Amino acid sequence: MCGYRTGVIWDPTRPNWQNNGERPIAWSAWYPTDDIGSVQIPSGHFFELGDVIQNAALTSQKRLPVVLLSHGTGGTAESVSWLAWALACEGYVVTGANHHGNTGLEPYLAEGFLCWWERAPDLSMLLTSLGATGFFADQLETSKNLAWSLIF
């Protein structure tokens, strides 16, 4: 069984494409949980998320390895949920960024498609932020040899 949750962080060092605020980084995460119970599949998703419990408690195991996902052009983190779910079931915390301006969750923005180099800072900010604050704080193993990025 895996947990699943979503959220948004804001990168204060980069503006959004409209240049009227901070860059948003919407994210999704699949992770191991010790919770047992009925599968709660969030509604409104085009892609199969796997057998997940939405907003489940994180497993009691400390320092979980991390995999970062970057979706394909115009996609979403959920478009690679088949992989995220399988890795979470093996003990990884798998987080995917939905890249501002280049995701199916937002209207098309040419800048988001042209400025592909903005993806790496999205992933870096996501890892830093989730590891430091909120639900995953102090639970992620972020050493160089355990954090992996997969880009589709």
**3-state SS record for the chain:** CEEEEEEEEEEEEEECCCCCCEEEEEEEEEEECCCCCCCECCCCCCCCCCCEEECCCCCCCCCEEEEEEECCCCCCHHHHHHHHHHHHHCCCEEEEEECCCCCCCCCCCHHHHHCHHHHHHHHHHHHHHHHHCCCCCCCEECCCCCCEEEEC
Question: pLDDT tens-digit profile of 26-35?
Answer: 999 999 998 8
Residue 1 belongs to some domain of the structure? no
Q: Which domain holds residue 82?
A: 24-34+44-151
Residue 6 in tokens = 């979503």
User: Who wins on pLDDT, 38 or 121?
Assistant: 121
Residue 124 belongs to some domain of the structure? yes
Q: Measured between alpha carbons, how far is 111 from 44 in angstroms, rounded to an integer?
A: 27
pLDDT at residue 148 is higher than 60: no
Q: What predicted TM-score, i.e. pTM, was given to this entire model?
A: 0.86
Q: What pLDDT score does 48 carry?
A: 65
Q: What pLDDT score does 149 carry?
A: 55
Question: pLDDT tens-digit profile of 74-121?
Answer: 778 888 888 999 999 999 999 999 998 888 788 888 888 888 889 899
Residue 97 belongs to some domain of the structure? yes
How many domains does the chain contain in total?
1
- Highest mean pLDDT among 48-52, 60-64, 143-147 belongs to 60-64
Residue 14 belongs to some domain of the structure? no
